[in-house]
Amino acid sequence: MSDQPIFADDPMLSTVARYWTAQRRGRPMPQRTDIDPLHLPASVWPNLLLAEPVAGTSAMRYRLVGSAHVERYTFDFTGRTTTEIMQGSYRTYMEAIYNTSLQEGLPVYSESVFRWDARGYAFTRRLMLPLQHGEHGMIFSVQVWPSELPYLPRSISDLSGTGAFKDGDYVVLDRDSFQPRSEA
């Protein structure tokens, strides 16, 4: 097993993972009050998200949406829920990632592909990091797009509603090594 996180090739994901680890201070996860995005490099801010569960549902409500998401998906969805902005298999996939991280209390790494438009596909990577907050916790996450899109931005509602979500996978990670958790 490597001693590097599975996303070690991405400086932004690695930076956020190191910050989350430092804020844990030996605990399973940091408190929400331990996390201040302003303590991260400014280059990371546009790619951050902060979400909390909507009680009694599988939905998540976005509390912080970085400008890269606003630009890519054409609107600021701060305060909106996954139910309001996503549809179909993409919404199911995203809610599964969020809720797995919350229920396990562990980081979750994901990759997914969208059919962006007639010219091609968009690939994205995410790191979901659980936070202790109230009764249900929160998720602090970073999402990156490894290659620039030469296409026009598209609404996340449109992408998820048109069947553009092509494929996605996720894995629960060990909180110390950020390697896939071994099943005992």
Mean pLDDT of 41-60: 96
Give the chain's length: 184
pLDDT of residue 113: 78
- pTM, to two decimals: 0.89
pLDDT: is 129 or 113 the higher one? 129
Residue range 56-75, pLDDT digits in tens? 999 999 999 999 989 888 88
| Residue 94: CB atoms within 10 Å | 26
Q: Is 81 helix (H, G, I), strand (E, B) or coil?
A: strand
Q: Which H or E element spans position 133?
A: none
Q: What are the distances in angstroms from CA 72 to CA 44, 53, 68, 169? A: 15, 23, 6, 21
Confidence of residue 78 (pLDDT cuts 50, 70, 90): very high
Domains of the chain: 11-172 (3.30.450.20)
Residue range 165-178, pLDDT digits in tens? 666 789 999 999 99
